[in-house]
A and B are shown apart, each in its own frame.
Chain A
Amino acid sequence: MTAPAGLLAALREIVGSERCLSRREELLPWECDGLTLHGSLPSAVVLPRDTHEVARIVRACRRFDTPFVPRGAGTGLSGGAIALDGGVVIECAKLDRILAIDGANRLAVVQPGVVNAALSQAVRPHGLFYAPDPSSQMACTIGGNVAENAGGPHTLKYGTTTNHVLALELVLPDGERLRLGSATGWSPGVDLVGVVVGSEGTVGIVTEVTVRLTPLPEATETLLVLFADVVSACRAVGAVITSGLVPAAMEIVDRRTIDAVEASVYAAGLPRDAGAVLLVELDGPAEALPPQIERIRALCAVEGARVQRARDDAERERFWRARKGAFGAMGRLAPDLYVHDAVVPRSRLPEVLARVGEICDRHRLRLSNVFHAGDGNLHPNISFDRRDADELARVVAAGREILEACVAVGGVISGEHGIGTEKRDFMGLVFSADDLEAQHRLRAAFDPDGVCNPGKILPTPRFCVEANPKARGYDHVPL
Chain B
Amino acid sequence: MRQLFEGADPAVSGAAAPGGAIPEGPLAAIYAGTLDCVHCGLCLSSCPTYRETGRELSSPRGRVHLMRAVAEGRIEFGATLAEEAYLCLGCRACETACPSGVRFGRLLEETRAAVEHAGLRRGFARRLERFALRRVIPNRRRLRLAVDALAWLQRLRLDRAALAWLPRRLAAPLALAPRVPPRAARRPLPWRTRPVMDLAVASQSDVMRTHRASVPKPPRGRVLLFTGCVMSELFGDVHHATARVLAANGFEVVVPHSQVCCGALQAHAGDAAFARELLRINLEAFAGARADAIVVNSAGCGAALREAGDWLPGEGDALARRIRDPLELLDEVGLRPPAGSMHARACYDDPCHLVHGQRIREAPRRVLRNVPGLELVEHEDPTSCCGAAGIYNLTHPEMSDAILERKLRTLAAADPDLILSGNPGCLMQLRAGSRRLGLRAEVLHPMTVLDRAYRNQES
**Residues in chain A within 8 A of chain B (CB atoms):** 21, 23-26, 28-34, 36-40, 45, 47, 73-75, 82, 84, 91, 93-94, 96, 113, 115, 117-118, 136, 138-140, 261, 263-266, 325-332, 335-337, 386-387, 389, 392, 421, 455, 474-478
Contacts and interface: CB of A to CB of B under 8 A. Distances in A.
Given A386-B5, A387-B19, A93 B54 contact: yes
Given A113-B54, A138-B45, A36 B39 contact: yes
A136 B65 CA distance: 19
Given A117-B45, A326-B99, A29 B38 contact: no
A30 B65 CA distance: 9
A139 B4 contact: no
B78 interface: yes
Contact of B38 (A47, A115, A336): A336
B323 interface: no
Contact of B1 (A138, A392, A421): A421
Contact of A329 (B1, B44, B59, B99): B99
A331 B100 contact: yes
A23 B80 contact: yes
Dominant secondary structure at the B interface: loop
Contact of A475 (B1, B18, B76): B1
Nearest to B75: A25
Given A37-B3, A37-B4, A136-B42, A91 B36 contact: no
B45 A329 contact: no
Nearest to B4: A39
A476 B2 CA distance: 8
Nearest to B380: A121
Contact of B44 (A139, A261, A475): A139
B57 A29 contact: yes
Contact of B55 (A47, A136, A386): A47
Given A31-B4, A91-B56, A329-B99, 19 more contacts: A25-B66, A25-B69, A28-B65, A29-B56, A39-B4, A96-B54, A115-B45, A117-B45, A138-B97, A264-B99, A264-B100, A325-B99, A328-B42, A328-B99, A331-B101, A336-B38, A336-B39, A386-B3, A392-B3
Interface size class of chain B, counting residues whose CB lies under 8 Å from the partner chain: 35 or more
Contacts of B3: 37-39, 386, 392, 478
Given A24-B12, A115-B45, A475-B1, A74 B38 contact: no
Nearest to A83: B1
A426 to B, nearest CB: 16
Nearest to B359: A265
B41 A34 contact: yes
Contacts of B69: 25, 28
A327 B35 CA distance: 16
Contacts, number: 162
A326 B38 CA distance: 12
Given A34-B40, A94-B53, A117-B45, A28 B66 contact: yes
Contacts of A421: 1
Contacts of A26: 57, 80
B39 to A, nearest CB: 5
B137 interface: no
B91 interface: no
Interface of B: 1-6, 12, 18-19, 35-46, 50, 53-57, 59, 61-63, 65-66, 69, 74-76, 78, 80-81, 95-102, 359
Contacts of A113: 54
A331 B37 contact: yes
A474 B54 contact: no
Given A29-B66, A327-B40, A24 B56 contact: no
Nearest to B64: A29
B330 to A, nearest CB: 22
A226 B74 CA distance: 46
A351 B2 CA distance: 34
A29 B40 contact: no
Contacts of B39: 32, 34, 36, 336
Nearest to A94: B54
B105 to A, nearest CB: 14
B40 A39 contact: no
A456 to B, nearest CB: 11
**Sorted from nearest, which 8 A-B pairs have the closest CB atoms?**
A331-B100, A328-B99, A331-B38, A93-B54, A29-B62, A94-B54, A39-B4, A325-B99
Contacts of A138: 42, 45-46, 97
B38 A330 contact: yes
Contacts of B75: 24-25, 28
A446 B97 CA distance: 39
Contacts of A476: 1
Contacts of A328: 38, 40, 42, 98-100
A474 B40 contact: no
Nearest to A76: B41
A330 B232 CA distance: 44
B5 A139 contact: no
Contact of B41 (A75, A91, A265): A75
A332 B42 contact: no
A47 to B, nearest CB: 5
Nearest to A455: B1
B2 A39 contact: yes
A265 B96 contact: yes
A38 B43 CA distance: 21
Given A25-B76, A94-B53, A331 B4 contact: no
A31 B62 CA distance: 10
Contacts of A29: 56-57, 59, 61-63, 65-66
Contacts of B99: 261, 264-266, 325-329, 331
A117 B243 CA distance: 42
19 contacts: A24-B75, A25-B66, A26-B57, A28-B65, A34-B39, A34-B41, A36-B38, A39-B1, A39-B2, A82-B1, A91-B54, A113-B54, A328-B38, A328-B42, A332-B100, A337-B38, A386-B3, A386-B4, A389-B19
